[in-house]
Amino acid sequence: MIRTARAPRIDWRAYVVPLGCVLLWVWAASTGRWNPHLLVPPQQLAIGFAQSARNPELWLALGTSLARLAAGFLLGSIAGIAVGVAVGCSRFAERLITPSLDSVRQVALFAWIPLLTAWFGDGDAAKVILIALAAFFPAALNAQSGCRQAPAALLEVGRVLEFDALTRLRRIILPSARPSIAAGLQIALTSAWIGTIGAEYLIDQGAGLGVFLASARMDNRMDVVIVCIVLLGFTGCALSALVRWVFQKGAPVRGVVLVDD
């Protein structure tokens, strides 16, 4: 008997809240109960979308922001995974590094901006480092947690087989930590995207979507501000979905190899 694949069912309940917000927005704009300069009517927003879509400066700003995001995310996530693996695998490294990490993690991300701009100026260097900081801690904490969740039975087998530290890390610990590391990278990417826009908005120099958003706010173009916010949301969702797809389509860990090939 051949079974045909069923189309995925759509849960319409997920659209109740967005649809309700849109209807409330249309009602508030049509009745004049809200300042139209602050909450633009839907038809004005549609015109703003059309104008922004034809504006090459918007897409140049988006490309610049994505380039900064890539640089900062790679720098922060690689450093975070390295530190997290070291702390998760070594009690000595844990006692040495964890107190400092916990202290630095309590500092709000954007509180670093005055110090970074004083050290590196208002250019890309300060922004990329801030983005790297945003990605570092989620990547580090999840890598640390994943390494500590390696099954005790497999670690014991590794001791029986006299694995050295590098072999134990490569064949047991990292495969076991892979799901946690993947989750950490998704969180790190979201944090890095927020850090990207925040850095560009607060360090209002050069190009970028945050700079474009700040410029629209200064010009009192609230339709363009809302367009930028919508674009930020869609871009963030697309980036998060991309990371999930990469890990789902990547080579799955079907087991832990404990013997040499």
More confident position, 181 or 18: 181
Q: Which helix (H) or strand (E) holds 169?
A: none
Within-domain flag for 1: no
Average pLDDT over residues 232-238: 89
b/e burial code for range 5-29 (CB count within 10 A of at least 16 → b): eeeeeeeeeeeeeeeeeeeebeeeb
pLDDT at position 135, please? 93
Q: In angstroms, rounded to a whole number, what is the distance separating the alpha carbons of residues 111 and 107?
A: 7
Q: In angstroms, rounded to a whole number, what is the distance separating the alpha carbons of residues 147 and 112?
A: 29
Within-domain flag for 25: no
Residue 239 identity: L
Q: Which residues, at least 6 apart from 134, have a Cβ–Cβ distance to it below 8 Å?
A: 72, 76, 109, 188, 191, 192, 194, 195
Within-domain flag for 212: yes
pLDDT tens-digit series, residues 182-197? 888 989 999 999 999 9
What DSSP state is assigned to residue 163?
-
Domain that holds residue 65: 41-249
In order of 173, 174, 179, the CA distances from 167 in angstroms are 9, 10, 20
Residue 202 identity: L
Structure tokens at 135: 């990605």
Q: What total of structural domains would you count in the chain?
A: 1
Within-domain flag for 27: no
Within-domain flag for 22: no
Taking 80 as the threshold, does the pLDDT of residue 236 lie above it?
yes
What percentage of the chain has pLDDT greater than the value 70? Answer: 84
In order of 28, 111, 149, 172, 236, the CA distances from 253 in angstroms are 53, 40, 15, 11, 27
Within-domain flag for 63: yes
Q: Which residues, at least 6 apart from 206, have a Cβ–Cβ distance to it below 8 Å?
A: 64, 122, 123, 124, 200
Within-domain flag for 30: no
Structural contact between residues 137 and 105, judged by C-beta atoms closer than 8 angstroms: yes
pLDDT tens-digit series, residues 148-160? 887 777 766 667 6
pLDDT at position 1, please? 46
Structural contact between residues 80 and 135, judged by C-beta atoms closer than 8 angstroms: yes
Average pLDDT over residues 218-238: 85
Within-domain flag for 193: yes
Structure tokens at 248: 């789902």
- The reported pTM is 0.79
The CATH number for 166's domain is 1.10.3720.10
pLDDT at position 79, please? 94
pLDDT tens-digit series, residues 88-108? 888 888 888 888 888 888 888
Residue 194 identity: I
What percentage of the chain has pLDDT greater than the value 90? Answer: 17
In order of 116, 207, 228, the CA distances from 61 in angstroms are 22, 6, 10
Q: In angstroms, rounded to a whole number, what is the distance separating the alpha carbons of residues 256 and 259?
A: 9
Q: In angstroms, rounded to a whole number, what is the distance separating the alpha carbons of residues 2 and 198?
A: 53
Q: Write out the DSSP string of 208-224.
A: SHHHHHHHHHHTT-HHH
Structural contact between residues 124 and 68, judged by C-beta atoms closer than 8 angstroms: yes
